Each structure stands twice: as structure tokens, then as C-alpha cells.
């Protein structure tokens, strides 16, 4: 691979091992001084050959496989899959099951957004907030463990409904958790909107205009932060979302600060949805019987994952094994936008820009051929992150100056 030395250009290969992102990915960034002029992104060390495996297993076995496409948004993948099979089989799940699916989906959105908030704070050097948000996240995981039986990979869905019911005690705990979490989330929103050190790091970074966001087909909070009102819970309500008022959160900032604000506000919306479900949970069964052999047909099933629109395409052939399963997870749609966001920005902003789309590499399934040995400086993620923190310190922005008061909650 030839490299051109024009003016002060250097190429930085980063990854696939880097401690901050917890997932393998490679980036090849071309710099001119401090500015990024080109970015080649290779994600997808997680390509496992899952879709081929789906074709040789039956639908119930595939449910467990599909759930493990991603550990953070596992419920939306299994919901999308179950919905698709239920549509092919022509069965309707009971209302109670639909409400339980919504409750678990919103709990998942809460834990995922808190996780993201912590990771983003960590990327800009704000480790205190990382610890705070992950401590709050434990409350959500406790509820999930109580309702579903596991903290991660919940396994609550089955074809035809859900596997476990919720009782009065669980609903009360959920309600208490929602109240406790609300004050924390409102505090994070206040922090994002008013704390000048935070906005100095996040505002103007990773800009993606409304027109570019449409052109690159981004989804989720990235699209909503550019003003695009696109949320599958509102566009095509599934499960019980047709009965539930969902506030669509958008922002006009078009940058990382906008994405932060959108995610925090979405957490408040999720808490309201959970409260609505608790109050209006209908009685009845939690599942209907589903056939083993699914009639031939094809279906496109969509859900709104924490990261955006999640699409499953399933084709059946009348047997107990699917003919074709294709998962298009939301992060796949956002990667093209990242390349555009990185170019023109500073090297110091690379970690937070990439983190701001909330990438989920195992949802993405890609691979890269990186030819190292080009003789350029090799930085790993940790040193890139340190570089970004010290670069901003020189500009006078030190996020460790933010004071976080101790709060009491249950």
C-alpha cells in the first residue's frame, strides 16, 4: 500500500484491540497536521456466519441465535424475529404479552442509553460520570433480572408471546426504580445542557447536517439529532406501541451534543412509557401456541432498537427451518455517516465522534483487510484517548473540573 507524503500527511492505523471501546474495529485515519482528511473504517471482526447457521436450525433454535447478535440490544432483535415469524404464521399475540414486550424493550433502552452515556463520558475523560451512570444502570439490570431471569440476553420472547409473566411485586419495584432514576436522568440532562466544560467538548463535534443525514440514511438518535423525525415506534407501531403515547424526541444541533441530549430525553420518555404500561397492563394469557412449520412467505419486520431502526427479512418455505434470514442492525446504517463526520474534524475528536453513534460492532458483521507495516506511527486507542484529553486540556477544557454532588436514591 503506497502512502503519499503531501505536506504533513500521516496515516494512523488504530485497532482492532483498544480498551475504550470494548469491541474490535480498525480505523485508518489520514491526518494533515491535526485535521482528519480521510478515514477508512473497518468494523466487523464479529462476523460469525450467523445467517448461514440460521438456515440449518429450526425457528426456536434460531430465536436464541438471533438474540445473541448483540448483547446490548438483544431484546429488539428477538422481538423483530418473533414478530416476523408471527406475521408469517398468521398469529396474533395476546395484549398482555405485547405490553410485557414493550416494558422489557423500554428497560433495555434505558440500560443501553445509560451505558452509552458512561462510555461517552469515558471517551472525553470524564470518568466520574462513567461510574455514576453505570451505577444507575445497575438498578435497571436488577429489574430486568427480576422480570426476565437474566441481566443480559433476557430470553423473555417466544414465538407467540412471552415466556414469563410479571406479578404485582415486580411492577411495584419497576415503579420505584422509575421514580428513583428520573431524578438522576434529569440531573444528567441539566449537566449536558448547562455545564460549559461538557458542551465545549461535545458541541460542534461530529457534525452531520440534515441533508447529509438523509443522504447517508442514518437512523436512530443520530438521525433525530439532525432533526429527522424517524422512530419506528411512531412510524410503524409494533407490539403495544399503538396504544401508548410515545413522544418523538428530536434536536437541531446536528452534533455530538445533540445526540447526547436526544438520548437523555429519550430516557425520560422511556420512563413514562414504563409507567403507562404498569398502569394499563391488561389481564390475560402471555402466549398463544405457534406452529412448528411456518407457511411459505416472506416478511420484513422492524423495531426501534436503542440505536435506531432494526430490520429483519425472513423468508420461509413451509418447513421448520427458515429459507433466508437477514438482519440489518441499526449500526450498519450509521457507519457511512461516521466517515463523513470524521473528515474535517480534529484528531482529538475521533474517539468521541465514533462513540457518539453508539456503535455496536457485533450488530454490524464486517471485516477489514489492514495492511500494516507502512512505517507510520501506530497509536492504540488508549493513547489516542489520552491524546484527546490532553489536547483539550491545553485549550483550557478540563472535564475533571465538573463537580458531581452525591445523591441519595433507593
Partner 1 sequence: MQTENEIVEKLCGEFGFLQDKIYVQRQKRIFTGFLAKEEFEQVLHYAHDELGFYRASHVVGTDEGGDLGFIYLLSNEDGIILALKEKAPKSDPVINSMTDIYPSLELHERELVDLFGAVVEGLPEGPSYPLPDGWPKGNYPMRKDWDPKYFDRNTMTYNPPAGGAGKEGGSK
Partner 2 sequence: MGLLQRAIEWGTRKSPWIIHFNAGACNGCDIETIDALTPRFDLERIGVLQEGSPRHADILVCTGAVTLQTRDRLKQIYDQMPEPKYVIAVGTCACTGGIFDGCYCVMGGIDTVIPVDVYIPGCAVHPEAIISAVQKLLDTIGQRKKGEDRHADRK
> Is residue 383 a contact residue for partner 2 (CB under 8 A)?
yes
58 contacts 73 by C-beta, under 8 angstroms: no
Q: Which stretch binds partner 1 (CB under 8 A): 101-109, 132-140, 231-239, 398-406?
A: 231-239
Q: Is 152 a binder of partner 2 (CB under 8 A)?
A: yes
Residues 86-115 that bind partner 1 (CB under 8 A): 87
Angle, CA 263 vertex, CA 259 and CA 268 arms, to 5°: 150
Report the partner that residue 1 touches, choosing among partner 1, partner 2, none (CB closer than 5 to 8 A by kind): none
Spatial CA neighbour of 311 closest among 389, 402, 220, 210: 220
Q: Which stretch binds partner 1 (CB under 8 A): 193-201, 267-275, 365-373, 400-408?
A: 365-373
The only residue of 27, 45, 99, 276 in contact with partner 2, by rule CB under 8 A: 45
Stretch that binds partner 1, among 152-160, 274-282, 320-328, 384-392 (CB under 8 A): 320-328
| Among 7, 16, 1, residue whose Cα is nearest residue 381 | 16
Q: From the list 145, 152, 292, 367, which residue makes contact with partner 1 (rule: CB under 8 A)?
A: 367
User: Which CB atom, from 292 or from 404, has the smaller least distance to partner 1?
Assistant: 292
Q: Let me know: does 317 contact 17? Beta carbons within 8 Å.
A: no
Q: How far apart are alpha carbons 37 and 346 in whole angstroms?
A: 9
Options 129, 365, 384, 399; binder of partner 1; rule CB under 8 A = 365
Number of residues in contact with partner 1, rule: CB under 8 A?
40
C-alpha angle 7-9-14 in degrees, rounded to nearest 5: 175
Q: Does 328 bind partner 1 (CB under 8 A)?
A: yes
CA distance 154 to 166: 14
3 binds, among partner 2, partner 1, none (CB under 5 to 8 A by kind): none
Q: Based on the shown chain and the rule CB under 8 A, indicate whether residue 278 belongs to the binding site for partner 1.
A: no
Nearest to 21 by CA among 309, 354, 390: 354
**Residue found by looking up cell 480521510 in the block:** 38
Alpha-helical runs (H) found in 16-73: 50-55, 59-67
Does residue 180 bind partner 2 (CB under 8 A)? Answer: no
Give the DSSP H/E element, type plus range, for residue 345: none
- Taking CB under 8 A as the criterion, which residues in 338-377 touch partner 2? 360-362, 367
Please tell me whether residue 163 binds partner 1 under the rule CB under 8 A: no
| Chain centre distance of CA 55 | 27
d(CA 231, CA 309): 7
Q: Which is nearer to partner 2, 134 or 230 (CB)?
A: 134
How far is the C-alpha of 312 from the C-alpha of 297, rounded, in Å? 14
Quote the CA–CA distance of 114 and 127 in Å, as a whole number: 14
Site for partner 1, rule CB under 8 A: 40, 42, 44, 47, 49, 51-53, 55-57, 87, 214-218, 232, 235-236, 298, 300, 309, 311, 313, 315, 321, 324, 326, 328, 332-333, 335-336, 365-370
Residues that bind partner 2 (CB under 8 A): 16-19, 22-24, 44-50, 52-53, 64-65, 68-72, 74, 115, 130-131, 134-135, 138, 150-153, 360-362, 367, 380-383
Amino acid at each position: 500500500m503506497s502512502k503519499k507524503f503531501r505536506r504533513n500527511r500521516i496515516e494512523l492505523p488504530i485497532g482492532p484491540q483498544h480498551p475504550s471501546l470494548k469491541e474490535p474495529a480498525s480505523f485508518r485515519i489520514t491526518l494533515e497536521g491535526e485535521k482528519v482528511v480521510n478515514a477508512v473504517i473497518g468494523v466487523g471482526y464479529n462476523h460469525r456466519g450467523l445467517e448461514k447457521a440460521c438456515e440449518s436450525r429450526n425457528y426456536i433454535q434460531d430465536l436464541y441465535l438471533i438474540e445473541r447478535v448483540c448483547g446490548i440490544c438483544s431484546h429488539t432483535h428477538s422481538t423483530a424475529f418473533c414478530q416476523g415469524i408471527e406475521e408469517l404464521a398468521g398469529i396474533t399475540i395476546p395484549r398482555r404479552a405485547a405490553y410485557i414486550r414493550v416494558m422489557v424493550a423500554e428497560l433495555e433502552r434505558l440500560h443501553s442509553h445509560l451505558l452509552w452515556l458512561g462510555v461517552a463520558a469515558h471517551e472525553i475523560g470524564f470518568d466520574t460520570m462513567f461510574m455514576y451512570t453505570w451505577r444507575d444502570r445497575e438498578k435497571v439490570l436488577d429489574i430486568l433480572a427480576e422480570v426476565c431471569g437474566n441481566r443480559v440476553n433476557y430470553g423473555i420472547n417466544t414465538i407467540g408471546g412471552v415466556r414469563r409473566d410479571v406479578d404485582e411485586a415486580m411492577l411495584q419495584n419497576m415503579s420505584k426504580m422509575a421514580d428513583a432514576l428520573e431524578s438522576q436522568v434529569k440531573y444528567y440532562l441539566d449537566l449536558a445542557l448547562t455545564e460549559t466544560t461538557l458542551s465545549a467538548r461535545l458541541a460542534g463535534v461530529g457534525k452531520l447536517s440534515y441533508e447529509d443525514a438523509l443522504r447517508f440514511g442514518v437512523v436512530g438518535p443520530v438521525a433525530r439529532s439532525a432533526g429527522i423525525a424517524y422512530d419506528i415506534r411512531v412510524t410503524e407501531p409494533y407490539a403495544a406501541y399503538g396504544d401508548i403515547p410515545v413522544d418523538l424526541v428530536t434536536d437541531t444541533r446536528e452534533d455530538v451534543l445533540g445526540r447526547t441530549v436526544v438520548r437523555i430525553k429519550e430516557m425520560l420518555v422511556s420512563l413514562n412509557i414504563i409507567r403507562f404500561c404498569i398502569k394499563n397492563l391488561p389481564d390475560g394469557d402471555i402466549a398463544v401456541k405457534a406452529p412448528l412449520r411456518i407457511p411459505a412467505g416472506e416478511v420484513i419486520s422492524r423495531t426501534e432498537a436503542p440505536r435506531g431502526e432494526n430490520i429483519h427479512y425472513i423468508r420461509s418455505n413451509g418447513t421448520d427451518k427458515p429459507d433466508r434470514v437477514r438482519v440489518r442492525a441499526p449500526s450498519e446504517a450509521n457507519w457511512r455517516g461516521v466517515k463523513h463526520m470524521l473528515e474535517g474534524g480534529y484528531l482529538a475528536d475521533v474517539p468521541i465522534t465514533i462513540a457518539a453513534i453508539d456503535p455496536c460492532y457485533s450488530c454490524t458483521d464486517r471485516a477489514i483487510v489492514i495492511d500494516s507495516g507502512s512505517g507510520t506511527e501506530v497509536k492504540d486507542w488508549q493513547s489516542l484517548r489520552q491524546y484527546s484529553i490532553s489536547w483539550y486540556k491545553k485549550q483550557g477544557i478540563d472535564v475533571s473540573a465538573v463537580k458531581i454532588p452525591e445523591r441519595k436514591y433507593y
